[in-house]
Amino acid sequence: MKALCWQGKHEISVKTVNDPRILNPHDAIIRVTQAAICGSDLHLYNGYIPTMEKGDVMGHETMGEIVEVGPKVKNRKVGEKIVIPFDIACGSCSFCKQDEFSFCDNTNPNTALANTLYDHGGSALFGYSHLYGGYAGGQAEYIRVPFVDTNSLAIPAGVPDEKVLFLSDIFPTGFMAAENANIKRGDTVAIWGAGPVGLMAIKSAFLLGAERVISIDHYSGRLKMARDAGAHVVNFEDIHGILDEINYLTGGKGPDSCIDAVGLEAHGSTVTAVLDRAKTTVGIGTDRPDALRQAIQACKKGGYVSVPGVYGGLLDNLPFGAAFGKGLNFKMGQTHTQKYMKPLLDRILADEIDPSFVITHRIKIEDGPQAYKSFNEKKDDFVKVVIQMN
């Protein structure tokens, strides 16, 4: 089959690789109909996540049709259309039983490796390095889904793929980010990053009752989408200081909650951002956490900082004194996608939201390598690219 494969930093190629096979009795094989490229894939593309190997199949935002099931699969059958969550869960460990699927104890065969970094490693992820299990991803014609009873959501016939594809990741991620921000009716929420995750967080914050959302980025196309989603937008390149601006917008109080939907590759020209870039360039730094610093600094006393943005290693110069002094609450992590898929499908079917609004590009798999490059450079107003497999 054809697949988009990681070849090294800044190099993705279309390769012919072996078709996946059923390996375990709870597996299913899916013929992929649509897959998307995620901001998280760019961390692999840019070489920030260790343990990628040449030839690894990319992709964790995937849907398709079941073509084969293992002998112990109970709830899924051949011919069903499913969306696949990006995190891989067993469905039966103590974490899965508490709906904490991305903490699954059983699916990552390389936990020893993850434990050296995190002491307690999380679940495996599709197409996301050997640290996260080394599973082949879904930017391919076919994908093997382990524990498919847990790792799938059946889609009713007649619903267009594009409306439900993002249940695989960015919609649950934006929604969990808003939930983690403890939004109450009437709140003001500031969201760093107006990429797909930030945009889903804006929509979700309003669904959860926020009165005002402030969206911060520096790409006009993305900020336009954020404005269309109802946010007050701030282009951080057009103003003097982001913290002054947010204080001004909140009457000096600070937002009730702050969401960092940027993660470890923040842009910017503050002193700390420039330092981060220098350190990561020469290999003495792991992350560029400037958005997180600003979120902590901006937040009101006793407020909530929610971090869907991905971080990998040791973060320098975090204003932890400010966090302590203001008694901030923190929540973060990989999304427990399986927990959110069904309730969010219901919101889509009830016409509360159509997540396909983020799509700016539709391509064939052959155009994948160029799409990675353009998405990374945020060329042509790239926000979200969908790979159409059929």
Please give the residue ranges that form the binding site for ligand NAD (CB under 6 A): 38-40, 42-43, 169-170, 173, 192-198, 216-219, 222, 236, 261-263, 266-268, 290-291, 308-310, 334-335
* Minimum distance from residue 214 beta carbon to Zn ion (Å): 24
| C-alpha to C-alpha distance for 107 and 24, rounded to whole angstroms | 12
Instruction: Estimate the crossing angle of helix 290-298 against helix 271-282, to 10 degrees.
Output: 150
CA angle 67, 63, 194 (to 5 degrees): 170
Considering beta carbons, is residue 20 or 196 the nearer one to Zn ion?
A: 196
Q: Does 35 bind Zn ion (CB under 5 A)?
A: no
Which partner, Zn ion, ligand NAD, none, binds residue 267 by CB below 5 to 8 Å per kind?
ligand NAD
Which partner, Zn ion, ligand NAD, none, binds residue 42 by CB below 5 to 8 Å per kind?
ligand NAD
**Contacts of 120 by beta carbon, 8 Å cutoff, 6+ apart:** none
Stretch that binds Zn ion, among 168-176, 295-303, 312-320, 336-344 (CB under 5 A): 168-176
Among 100, 161, 169, 290, binds Zn ion (CB under 5 A): 169
Q: Does 280 bind Zn ion (CB under 5 A)?
A: no
* Minimum distance from residue 95 beta carbon to ligand NAD (Å): 15
**Which tokens is 292 given?**
């997180």
Among 38, 229, 273, 365, binds Zn ion (CB under 5 A): 38
Cα distance between the two ends of the chain? 13
Which partner, Zn ion, ligand NAD, none, binds residue 365 by CB below 5 to 8 Å per kind?
none
Considering beta carbons, is residue 3 or 38 the nearer one to ligand NAD?
A: 38
Which pairing describes strands 359-363 and 384-388: parallel, antiparallel, or unpaired? parallel
| C-alpha to C-alpha distance for 167 and 151, rounded to whole angstroms | 12
* Minimum distance from residue 130 beta carbon to ligand NAD (Å): 18
**Contacts of 219 by beta carbon, 8 Å cutoff, 6+ apart:** 194, 378, 381
State the DSSP string of 260-286.
Answer: E-S-TB----SHHHHHHHHHHHHTS--
Stretch that binds Zn ion, among 27-35, 38-46, 63-71, 149-157 (CB under 5 A): 38-46
Instruction: Report the interface residues with Zn ion, using CB under 5 A.
Output: 38, 40, 169
